[in-house]
Amino acid sequence: SLADRATIANMAPEYGATCGFFPVDDATLDYMRLTGRSEEQIALTEAYAKAQGMWRLADAPDPVFTDTLGLDMANVVPSLAGPKRPQDKVILTEVDDTFNADLAKVYGHSNAIRVPVEGRDHDIGDGDVVIAAITSCTNTSNPSVLVAAGLVARKANALGLKPKPWVKTSLAPGSQVVTDYLDKAGLTTDLNAVGFNLVGYGCTTCIGNSGPLAEPISAAINGNDIVAASVLSGNRNFEGRVSPDVRANFLASPPLVVAYALKGTVTEDFTTTPIGQSTAGEDVYLKDIWPTNAEVREVMDANIDRGMFQSRYASVFTGDAKWQAIEIEGSDTYAWPPASTYIANPPYFEGMSMTPAPVQDIIEARP
């Protein structure tokens, strides 16, 4: 689907490319229609792509490339990336072994640490997932993974599963359309039930805007050198980026994020050990809450339509009442707030004249 193409193209840096590119075809135009583009804009896109040689026909000869890389699709298996770099691929069934090996090799823990949390009736230890976040970075244009996350939540909620008490959960889509189709499908209620409440739109946890962990959790981690983990559907996982309290960060799909919040740790095999127990006292495994492709497609077909995109984006540059209530100085240029430590006027052009200065020698530069 075009949504899958967008996800792959978005994550180009993670697989070592500058950009990801797919040729324009009928699937592109269908997506433009779904998302509320006008027929004039769609026709212009088609005409331009064909004129520029960027249009792809199913029966067209394969393009000629300078170099190619092959991928055996039979080898593609569920995977995560972590614990420190986006390119550090870890197969889902090997996450526990990889982390446990890293404890000694990377973090210097010969034995896993586990300590009680002050004022709470649980402990915490190496490999416990303290942050599970569905973020905006790579899933805004791909409803299939967001619907899948909602269906995992629905099945988990029906069985009475809850996230572990040390896990901080959040949902931050990149578009309000996501909220619309999750609401329409009734999946927002299920996501809320397992802790994934809407916290906002756009960049949050993936750029460190996750907010602090609960003070007892943070104190236990930092006071005992615990290697805590996060699982997020973002595209960056450098140590300290997601949270200063979390050293091991794993990138995963939104449905896996929900599942890891329920499991609460990366130290056990995710596919052979139970995620938790149902209200009936029975062990629940990942396969018990994982939706089929047909289930995901059924929800998407019934709950996503063109009108959602047209409604949300008709006034996208106007903003809501809170946006309109922000007081600003009316001027032709932006009034830089002098007290801000986040949005500051860069000094690059201070003292620069309209006439370029003559070229000068570089003095005392290192060779």
| Tens digits of residue pLDDT in 159-180 | 999 999 999 999 999 888 999 9
Residues 220-248: what's their mean pLDDT? 91
Note whether 296 and 181 are within 8 A (CB).
no
Residue 208, pLDDT above cutoff 90: no
Residues 116-143: what's their mean pLDDT? 88
pLDDT of residue 122: 94
Return d(Cα 349, Cα 153) in angstroms, integer. 51
Domains, in order of start, for the chain = 1-76 (3.40.1060.10), 79-311 (3.30.499.10)
Note whether 132 and 172 are within 8 A (CB).
no
pLDDT in tens, 74-112: 999 999 998 998 889 999 999 999 999 999 888 888 888
pLDDT of residue 154: 98
Residues 58-64: what's their mean pLDDT? 85
Confidence of residue 226 (pLDDT cuts 50, 70, 90): very high
Percent of the chain with pLDDT over 70: 99
Where is average pLDDT lowest: 120-129, 238-247, 310-319?
310-319
Return d(Cα 275, Cα 159) in angstroms, integer. 11
pLDDT of residue 189: 98
pLDDT of residue 140: 63
Residue 137, pLDDT above cutoff 80: no
Confidence of residue 201 (pLDDT cuts 50, 70, 90): confident
Could you count the other beta carbons within 10 Å of the beta carbon of residue 121? Answer: 7
For residue 125, list its beta bridge partners: 114
Judged on CB neighbours under 10 Å (0-12, 13-18, 19+), 170 is buried
Q: Check residue 174 and report its DSSP letter.
A: S
Residue 280, pLDDT above cutoff 90: yes
Mean pLDDT of the chain: 91
In Å, what is the CA distance from 306 to each residue of 35, 178, 275, 313? 5, 13, 37, 11
pLDDT of residue 211: 85
